[in-house]
Amino acid sequence: EAGVVQSPRYKIIEKKQPVAFWCNPISGHNTLYWYLQNLGQGPELLIRYENEEAVDDSQLPKDRFSAERLKGVDSTLKIQPAELGDSAVYLCASSLVSSRSNEQFFGPGTRLTVL
């Protein structure tokens, strides 16, 4: 069974440029998460989708970040414009359903460097 797929694995951009990350969750998983992981820190939730609905986007900086999950399958996270402080690893995860004991399956992440 294929795991969570993310692309690209690495991205280097100049500040003020736009960037997009793509995630394909495990087949059949209804819940999709985007996390931000700074160096030496644990993942922090940016947004959670139930199918195509964003049910928790309270931590997403909406002035520059946007996300979509069309058709409730794969998802794209965009930053426009990027700032130096956005350099981090962006993780995508999925789970079969949302529950308090759900196991999340993580992709390998996209490492973003903003110069």
Judged by the rule CB under 8 A, the positions of this chain that interact with other proteins are 3-4, 40-45, 48, 55-56, 91, 93, 98-109
Our CB check for other proteins shows the closer of 73 and 106 to be: 106
As measured in angstroms, the least distance from the Cβ of 76 to other proteins is 18
As measured in angstroms, the least distance from the Cβ of 103 to other proteins is 5
Our CB check for other proteins shows the closer of 81 and 89 to be: 89
| Residue (of 33, 42, 21) closest to 60 by Cα position | 33
Our CB check for other proteins shows the closer of 14 and 101 to be: 101
Task: Please tell me the distance from the alpha carbon of residue 109 to that of residue 90, in angstroms, as a whole number.
Answer: 5
Our CB check for other proteins shows the closer of 14 and 103 to be: 103
As measured in angstroms, the least distance from the Cβ of 14 to other proteins is 26
